[in-house]
Amino acid sequence: MSEPYHIEGATGPWEVVIGLEVHAQVTSAAKLFSGAATAFGAEPNSQVSLVDAAMPGMLPVPNRECIRQAVRTGMAIGAEINRWSRFDRKNYFYADLPQGYQISQLYHPLVGEGAIEITLDEKDPDSEVKTIGIERIHVEQDAGKLMHDQHPTRSYIDLNRSGVALMEIVSRPDMRSPAEAGAYLRKLRAILRYVGSCDGNMEQGSMRADVNVSVRKAGAPFGTRTETKNVNSVRFVMATIEGEARRQVDVLEAGGTIVQETRLYDPDRNETRSMRSKEDAHDYRYFPDPDLLPLELEEAFLEECRASLPELPDAKRHRYERELGISAYNAGVITSDVETARWFETVLAEGAKPAAAANWLTSELFGALNRLGKDIGDSPVSAAQAAQLLGLVADGTLSGSLSKQVFEIMLETGQDPAAIVEERGLKQTSDTGAIEAEIAKVMAANADKVADYRGGKDKLFGFFVGQTMKAMAGKANPAVVNELLKKALDA
Ligand code: ADP
Ligand code: MG
């Protein structure tokens, strides 16, 4: 943020301006206006009620849980919650929309202005904080899905998604680089997952972004924007912005003008292309939906929403640093995802010391999970087992290197650490007699090196440590080995 983003190939002080409209699927067992289920990956058209199929005469009934989740999300971003809001019809014809209109909220959205704080590098405690404004969050229905790859000459429609509740979270045009947009999406996703209002799964389409991009000479009024629809990963959003900024600068520098239009991102070619000229709100003939009463929220409902909010990522990060004495880096990493934070708190509840547990989690556990391509949710080692392992290190049963060996075996076998230590005799030993005996053997076998060491080659000390540890099959207490070796060599 401190260094302005440079648009590749641009001459002069061009600046990119970005606003994101994120569609987040509300976590709810049922759809926004019907009781049909919302499970991902179900058999096509197996989760469609008469309302979702827009059968004549069917009436929508708002699902309280969807409204509740959107309100809680609004509260989590410090937004104003509108006690009175209303649903509008957005009219357009397309095969994936059997009603012929989408029920949305244009004039009176449920949630008004809020904000999200981002840090460009979440793991760097000194990284600058920037506030990104949120214009509104409104609630609307999703459309069905067209399938063009099932038959050579026909297209099919899957209406499972038709009527699923979405929150559209509209940012202000406050971002100035692809990296800021990436940080915003990651932070928004983290908040949604903490709140539990959306699972944030971009691959499954439960979070998608419309990416609005324009460019301007620094200080000039905003330029004309284009909107790239339905981009479904953080990486693709960043690539869309880079490519679109470059394309717009090229057009402007060649004396052309930017057309306000809707574009499509093609991940295979990593470029956007024009889809249609941008429609305006009036093209959709919005009007209040006569089938639905306005939403009026009662104080008790709002109170329940507020009371049910969890500790959010920023608050948790600060508490970890302040109260648990965890390094800023570790606190940032662990709180960046709710599942990781929950796992960590279970390890602490099982008796582990916070700082040691945090270090172990961000290095050993994350290293192993990366290697195995797994998320913390399907870690082969449970939080309770991790706490036991840390306990064995804390009470001196295991050295750092033995704990790594034991952890590897835990990953492979799923066994408890105590059982592994017992079965394989991996306990650390501080038995000075046994260690001294091995030291004597190592020195006898390396008389030349002993002479070199005593002649001033200090660096050889590490060699003797290594040999002694090897002779003790890695089980000797390293501090004791160091101490006894010094004594023997300096004698
Ligand atoms: P629409 O609903 O027609 O897409 P909005 O006015 O609601 O239009 O704006 C949609 C998004 O476009 C918002 O996220 C906003 O921040 C962003 N936006 C508006 N103007 C610009 C601009 N000049 N450059 C980049 N983004 C913009
Ligand atoms: Mg839009």
Cα separation, 336 vs 374, whole angstroms: 17
Residue 26 per-residue DSSP state: -
170 lines ligand 1 (CB under 6 A): yes
Q: How many other CB atoms sit within 10 Å of the CB of residue 210?
A: 18
109 lines ligand 1 (CB under 6 A): no
Cα separation, 442 vs 489, whole angstroms: 11
**Per-residue model confidence as pLDDT tens digits over 379-411:** 999 999 999 999 999 998 998 889 999 999 999
212 lines ligand 1 (CB under 6 A): yes
Q: How many other CB atoms sit within 10 Å of the CB of residue 308?
A: 12
Map tokens 């804390």 to a residue: 394
345-350 own/partner pairs: CB under 8 Å, 24+ apart: 346/383, 346/384, 346/387, 347/383, 347/386, 347/387, 347/390, 348/324, 348/387, 350/383, 350/384, 350/386, 350/387, 350/388
Q: What's the gap in Å between 212 CA and the centre of ligand 1?
A: 6
Helix (H, G, I), strand (E, B) or coil at 274: strand
Cα separation, 475 vs 422, whole angstroms: 13
Which amino acid residue places its CA nearest to atom 19 of ligand 1? 173
**Per-residue model confidence as pLDDT tens digits over 26-63:** 999 999 999 999 999 999 999 999 999 999 999 999 99
Q: What's the gap in Å between 259 CA and the centre of ligand 1?
A: 14
Ligand 1 atom with least separation from CA of 223: 23
Which amino acid residue places its CA nearest to atom 5 of ligand 1? 170
Q: What's the gap in Å between 45 CA and the centre of ligand 2?
A: 28
In 3D space, the residue among 13, 299, 338 whose CA is nearest the CA of residue 193 turns out to be: 338
Ligand 1 atom with least separation from CA of 280: 3
Ligand 1 atom with least separation from CA of 170: 14
The letter for the amino acid at 409 is: I
Residues 375-413: b if buried by 16+ CB within 10 A, e if exposed: ebeebebbbebbbbbbbbbeeebbbeebbebbbebbbee
Q: Sign of dihedral through CA atoms 157, 161, 166, 170?
A: negative
Ligand 1 atom with least separation from CA of 173: 16
Q: Which ligand is nearest to the CA of 105?
A: 1
The mean pLDDT of the chain is: 94
The letter for the amino acid at 435 is: I
Q: Which helix (H) or strand (E) holds 227?
A: strand 226-231
The letter for the amino acid at 326 is: I
418 lines ligand 1 (CB under 6 A): no
Map tokens 């809020």 to a residue: 114
Cα separation, 471 vs 476, whole angstroms: 9
Which amino acid residue places its CA nearest to atom 4 of ligand 1? 227
Q: Which ligand is nearest to the CA of 223?
A: 1
171 lines ligand 1 (CB under 6 A): yes
Residues 143-172: b if buried by 16+ CB within 10 A, e if exposed: bbeeeeeeeeeeeebbbbbbbbbbbbbbbe
Helix 313-324 with 338-349: angle, nearest 10 deg: 30
Which amino acid residue places its CA nearest to atom 13 of ligand 1? 19
228 lines ligand 1 (CB under 6 A): no
Helix (H, G, I), strand (E, B) or coil at 491: coil
In 3D space, the residue among 347, 427, 426 whose CA is nearest the CA of residue 388 turns out to be: 347
Of all residues in the chain, what percent carry a pLDDT higher than 70?
A: 99
Mutate to test the pocket of ligand 1, among 5, 14, 15, 21 (most ligand atoms within 8 A of CB): 21
Residues near ion ligand 2 (CB < 5 Å) are 21
172 lines ligand 1 (CB under 6 A): yes
Ligand 1 atom with least separation from CA of 278: 3
Lowest-pLDDT range of 29-33, 305-309, 471-475: 471-475
Q: How many other CB atoms sit within 10 Å of the CB of residue 134?
A: 25
Q: What's the gap in Å between 170 CA and the centre of ligand 2?
A: 8
In 3D space, the residue among 9, 17, 7, 20 whose CA is nearest the CA of residue 216 turns out to be: 17
In 3D space, the residue among 408, 454, 403 whose CA is nearest the CA of residue 426 turns out to be: 403
436 lines ligand 1 (CB under 6 A): no
**Per-residue model confidence as pLDDT tens digits over 152-196:** 999 999 999 999 999 999 999 999 999 999 999 999 999 999 999
| For the chain, domain boundaries | 14-304, 311-424, 432-489
Q: What's the gap in Å between 294 CA and the centre of ligand 2?
A: 24
Q: What's the gap in Å between 303 CA and the centre of ligand 1?
A: 32
Q: Taking 90 as the threshold, does the pLDDT of residue 287 lie above it?
A: yes
Q: Which ligand is nearest to the CA of 281?
A: 1
pLDDT tier for residue 3 given thresholds of 50, 70 and 90 = confident
Q: Taking 60 as the threshold, does the pLDDT of residue 482 lie above it?
A: yes
Q: Are 251 and 244 a contacting pair, CB within 8 Å?
A: no
**Per-residue model confidence as pLDDT tens digits over 9-34:** 888 889 999 999 999 999 999 999 99
Ligand 1 atom with least separation from CA of 171: 14
CA 361 from centre of chain: 17
Ligand 1 atom with least separation from CA of 20: 14
Q: What's the gap in Å between 210 CA and the centre of ligand 2?
A: 7
Cα separation, 274 vs 266, whole angstroms: 11
211 lines ligand 1 (CB under 6 A): no
Cα separation, 328 vs 150, whole angstroms: 51
214 lines ligand 1 (CB under 6 A): yes
264 lines ligand 1 (CB under 6 A): no
Q: How many other CB atoms sit within 10 Å of the CB of residue 486?
A: 12
Q: Which ligand is nearest to the CA of 260?
A: 1
Q: Taking 70 as the threshold, does the pLDDT of residue 1 lie above it?
A: no
469-472 own/partner pairs: CB under 8 Å, 24+ apart: 471/438, 471/441, 471/442, 472/429, 472/434, 472/435, 472/438
Q: Which ligand is nearest to the CA of 171?
A: 1
Cα separation, 114 vs 82, whole angstroms: 12
**Per-residue model confidence as pLDDT tens digits over 98-145:** 999 999 999 999 999 999 999 987 667 678 899 999 999 999 999 999
The CATH number fitting domain 432-489, selected from 3.90.226.10, 1.10.10.410, 3.30.70.20, 3.40.50.970: 1.10.10.410
